[in-house]
Amino acid sequence: MSVPPSSTTSSAPLSRRDLLRGTAVGVSGLALSPLLAACGGLGSGGGSGGKTLKIGFVSPRTGAAAGFGEPDAYVLKLARKAFAAGLTIGGKKYQVEILDRDGQSNPQRAAQVANDLINGEGIDLMLTTSTPETVNPVSDACEAAGVPCVSTVEPWESWYMGRNAKPTDKKAFRYVYHFCFGVEEFHKAYAHLWPQVSTNKKVGVMWPNDSDGNAIRSALGPLLTKEGYNIVDPGAYTDGTNDYSAQIAKFKSQKCEIFNTFPLPPDFATFWRQATQQGYRPKIVQVAKTGLFPSQVEALGSIGVGLAGAAYWTPTFPYSSSLTRISSKDLAAGYQNEVGKQWTQQLGPSLALFDVAAAVFKAVSDPKDKKAVANAIGGLTVDTPVGRLEWGKGPNGNVVVTPILGGQWVPAAAGSKYKLDFVVCENSCDTNVPVAAKLKAYGA
């Protein structure tokens, strides 16, 4: 920038020194404002920030995990409606504001929006969901800033141990809490699902070389071996591989009648089409991580019918949301009617987050006291669409374990608007959920 030397003070009242000084103040002010806000946020004495409770909500709405965030708009609408009248806590009335942000399926972005919510908006409680890429950085930011946070839809081991807690830790975190299934639930579901079809107990596995794949290899593999299954593991492949003929050849030569994988959706589609081309046809095709949502299975066409999967929520869960009083069945029906798309498993846990938020605010005398709110989550019992969550009973103080149930994608009943339906075939993790059908062999 150059100021013309001829400019007089009358025509340019801002001299260069003034400008620099002004800029310096401005910059330091900018640099300070998040700090100040953070101080305000950390000061847990209460009374600051008026009578509005702010809830931050971070989920992947765009990017590779955008499928998880799809029902969020509908769930947010339900939660906002339920909170519209405000909450009365300790004789005081509070307005509730929900600030939803998109983590873009990207850990850096998720951390950034979380910090903006904490420092810029001064939120009182954070909620976050879906995949380690979103949940872990948001939880880290909250633990560091001392803001209570509740998260879900990420296997709890990867949330707890993946963030430097030791398996032996009783309660590694002070402000962040989680509810989700873990490896043991997968083990239970598979151990009850697979015997429903007679096989040679040889399991061909495709576990990728990523955080989920490696966790499953080290934790689930030994459990399945103990159940008497013979694991055929060709080795970890890289996400985004476009050819799987080596694995298919191995599964064929070893005659693996069960197949299990934890892939990204396009990788499974590539594998499964190739497997069909090359004549590999196992009796049980157990897919996790992908095949959660109907669109992912529908995209496979006829070769998607009969895949076995697992669900962390279905409309047949006999539970209701304590905040909105909506039952699981009505939640799915409402989504299908209003949004016009088939229900997905995400509806349950997403709404459960808001149940937890409402319950914890009501459990404390001053909801602006972050430390009290965080402590209250640690002893909270709350009814949600995924079941009753009870902190303090789980594997550690921060985690509640929720069920995952084995099932199968079958053609929808005649007259249905949709092509496929997910039916629960075993309920070992939660016997209150009815079993709808017996697992059938793929292609049978």
Any contact of residue 35 with another protein (CB under 8 A)?
no
Largest CA distance in the chain: 93
Q: Which stretch binds another protein (CB under 8 A): 22-30, 136-144, 185-193, 240-248?
A: 240-248
- Which residues on neighbouring strands pair with residue 99, listed in sequence order? 56
Any contact of residue 32 with another protein (CB under 8 A)?
no
Candidates 174, 273, 371, 440: give the one binding another protein (CB under 8 A). 273
- Check if the beta carbon of residue 58 is closer than 8 Å to that of residue 68: no
What tokens appear for 166 in the block? 């030791």
Using a CB cutoff of 8 Å and minimum separation of 24, what contacts does 277-283 make?
278/245, 278/248, 278/249, 278/252, 279/252, 280/248, 280/251, 280/252, 281/442, 281/443, 282/204, 282/251, 282/256, 282/257, 282/258, 282/442, 283/197, 283/199, 283/257, 283/258, 283/441, 283/442
Any contact of residue 199 with another protein (CB under 8 A)?
no
Candidates 37, 44, 54, 66: give the one binding another protein (CB under 8 A). 66
Nearer of residues 193 and 206 to another protein, judged by Cβ: 206
Q: Which parts of 110-129 interact with another protein (CB under 8 A)? A: none
Instruction: Read off φ and ψ for residue 100, nearest 5 degrees.
Output: -95, 140
Q: Give the DSSP per-residue string, 130-170.
A: SSHHHHHHHHHHHHHHT--EEEESS-HHHHHGGGT--TT-S
Edge-to-edge, what's the strand order for the sheet holding 230-232? 230-232, 202-206, 258-261, 284-287, 308-311, 405-411, 420-424
Nearer of residues 95 and 211 to another protein, judged by Cβ: 211
Candidates 67, 122, 221, 407: give the one binding another protein (CB under 8 A). 67
Candidates 28, 277, 381, 431: give the one binding another protein (CB under 8 A). 277
Minimum distance between the CB of residue 371 and another protein, rounded to whole angstroms?
38
- Check if the beta carbon of residue 387 is closer than 8 Å to that of residue 111: no
Q: Which parts of 137-166 interact with another protein (CB under 8 A)? A: none
Q: Which parts of 368-397 interact with another protein (CB under 8 A)? A: none
Any contact of residue 236 with another protein (CB under 8 A)?
yes
Any contact of residue 76 with another protein (CB under 8 A)?
no
Minimum distance between the CB of residue 83 and another protein, rounded to whole angstroms?
27
State the number of binding residues for another protein (CB under 8 A). 44
Any contact of residue 281 with another protein (CB under 8 A)?
no
Type of residue found at 359: A
Sequence-ordered strand ranges (E) for 18-60: 52-59
Candidates 62, 88, 198, 381: give the one binding another protein (CB under 8 A). 62
Nearer of residues 265 and 315 to another protein, judged by Cβ: 265
Any contact of residue 103 with another protein (CB under 8 A)?
no
Any contact of residue 211 with another protein (CB under 8 A)?
no
Any contact of residue 254 with another protein (CB under 8 A)?
no
Any contact of residue 416 with another protein (CB under 8 A)?
no
The DSSP bridge pattern shows strands 176-180 and 387-390 to be unpaired
Any contact of residue 218 with another protein (CB under 8 A)?
no
For the beta carbon of residue 331, count every other beta carbon within 10 angstroms: 26
Candidates 247, 286, 324, 350: give the one binding another protein (CB under 8 A). 247
- Using CA atoms, how far apart are residues 248 and 282, in angstroms rounded to an integer? 11
Chain centroid to CA 303: how far? Answer: 27
Nearer of residues 421 and 426 to another protein, judged by Cβ: 421
What tokens appear for 251 in the block? 């599964």
Nearer of residues 320 and 350 to another protein, judged by Cβ: 350
What tokens appear for 239 in the block? 């996400």
Any contact of residue 41 with another protein (CB under 8 A)?
no
Q: Which of 341, 335, 322 is nearest to 417 (CA)?
A: 341
Any contact of residue 49 with another protein (CB under 8 A)?
no
Candidates 35, 39, 246, 437: give the one binding another protein (CB under 8 A). 246
- Using CA atoms, how far apart are residues 167 and 173, in angstroms rounded to an integer? 13
Any contact of residue 237 with another protein (CB under 8 A)?
yes
Give the binding site for another protein (CB under 8 A): 62-64, 66-67, 69-70, 105, 209, 234-238, 240-247, 249, 252-253, 265-267, 269-270, 273-274, 276-279, 293, 295-296, 299-303
